[in-house]
Amino acid sequence: MFRTQGSELVMGAMLALTIEAILDFAGQRRGHFRLIACEVVSHDGYGTPRELFIAFFGVIRDTLRDLLGDEWSPQIAQTWDRLLTEIDAFAGVPA
Ligand code: HEM
C-alpha cells in the first residue's frame, strides 16, 4: 500500500515527516504536528484507511522498543500509550 514503483523516496520522506510530526506533537506543537490531521485526509484519497494510517505510529513505537532493548522502560511505554491515544483523537475526522 506504500506503492511499489518509484516509491522509495516517498516512503523515506513519509517516515521522516512522520517522525518530525510525532516529535512536534509530543513537544512544542509549533506546526509540524498539523501534518498528521492533514495527511489522514489525503491518505483517504490514496486508499489508506484511517486505522491503517494511525497504525503506522504504533509500528514506529514498536520499532523503537525493539531498538532500545533493555533501555525501554515501563514509563516510556506508558508515555507512548498516552501519545498514541492523543494522536488517535487528534486525527479523528468528523463524520
Ligand atoms: C500505513 C500507513 C501509510 C500508508 C500505507 C501510506 C501511503 C502513502 C501513499 C500511497 C502515498 C502517495 C505516494 C505517491 O504519490 O506515490 C503517500 C504519500 C505521503 N504520505 Fe503516506 N502513508 C502512510 C502513513 C503516513 C503517515 C503516518 C504520514 C505522516 C503523518 C504520511 C505522510 C505522507 C506524505 C507527506 C506524503 C506525500 C504526499 C502528500 O502530501 O500527501 N504517510 N503515503
Per-residue pLDDT for 28 more than 90?
Answer: yes
Q: Is 39 in the pocket of ligand 1 (CB under 6 A)?
A: yes
Go through 21-44 and write b for each residue having 16 or more CB atoms within 10 A of its CB, e for each that does not.
bbebbeeeeeebbebbeebbeebe
Per-domain residue ranges for the chain?
A: 8-90
Q: What is the DSSP string of 3-60?
A: -SSS-HHHHHHHHHHHHHHHHHHHTT-SSTTHHHHHHHHHHHHHT--HHHHHHHHHHH
Query: Going by CA atoms, what residue is nearest to atom 4 of ligand 1?
Result: 2
Query: Going by CA atoms, what residue is nearest to atom 15 of ligand 1?
Result: 10
Q: Is 37 in the pocket of ligand 1 (CB under 6 A)?
A: no
Summarised one tens digit per residue, pLDDT across range 61-88 is: 999 999 999 999 999 999 999 999 999 9
